[in-house]
Amino acid sequence: MEQRVLGSTGVAIPVVGQGTWQMEIDDEAACIDAIRRGIDAGMTHIDTAEMYGSGAVEALVGKAIAGRRDEVFLASKVLPSNASYSGTIAACERSLEQLRTDRLDLYLLHWPGQHPLEETFRAFKDLRAQGKIRYFGVSNFDQAELSKAIAIAGAREIACNQVLYHLLERSIEHRVLPLCERHGIAVVAYSPFGSGRFPAPGSTAGRVLASIAAAHHVTPRQIALRFLLRRQPTFVIPKAASAAHALDNAAAGDLRLSNEDVARLETAFPLGRDRGVLPTL
């Protein structure tokens, strides 16, 4: 599994991690097995949030990593409605309890909200000083919001911006990704398969994807993940509710695409115009 340094943290983590959104609706035993098998395969970056299942998914992740906490780079998120200074501290404490751990490796503000960023970041820095989190970042921040966050948090403080990014939604490449590159901020792509919008095999673009996959003797989903990883700051966190799916995702970690492959995918899945709005789910 290829590893890259996450933003300005100096810590190398796998380029393919594990997302857990909506795991509360899946079979718990199968999800726990998938997470554990994913860790075995090198996907040690595990992402969750207090919002997911109102804490149920954090509890599931806690069960999955029991006895293996030191192997894992663990991330969670605070809801914007909880992101006052005291609310952030309390939310982090709840997440730690659900996850059965004494620290988070990465703590994110889930999306911009009404509480001043100054309060949220002050809480993040105090949590870091207490050893309850190692690094902090943001999620679903557009260019203007991220620029403001950088100015408030300080240079090289924000570890990452977690955003929607997949073959059919490349809007972040216009402004958000270049801004992250300039400031040493990692880009973590959530829903990298499009959350139900993966290219249909019979579509023109889907046939291009299948052709490249066949040439590499891999699956179209592995090609899709690798395409998103072609720029250095990016990481992906696909969800897998089964061990087989987890192992399929992990195999993208060592895949390499040629310049011709990338050019074909760029043409098949065009960037499109800058709509000026950050896409989210």
71: alpha, beta or left, given left = phi > 0 and alpha = psi -120 to 50?
A: alpha
Instruction: Report the candidate in 58, 1, 4 with the shortest Cα–Cα distance to residue 31.
Output: 58
d(CA 55, CA 146): 27
Catalytic residue status for 165: no
From the centroid of its chain, how far is CA 42?
15
**Cα–Cα distances in Å, from 220 out to 87, 223, 254?**
42, 5, 15
Instruction: Report the candidate in 174, 117, 115 with the shortest Cα–Cα distance to residue 142.
Output: 174
> Which residue is associated with the tokens 């795991």?
23
* Residue 112 burial (10 A CB sphere; 0-12, 13-18, 19+): buried
Beta bridge partners of residue 208, listed in sequence order:
none
Choose the catalytic residue: 52, 107, 135, 190. 52
> Which residue is associated with the tokens 């801004």?
179
Task: Report the catalytic residues.
Answer: 52
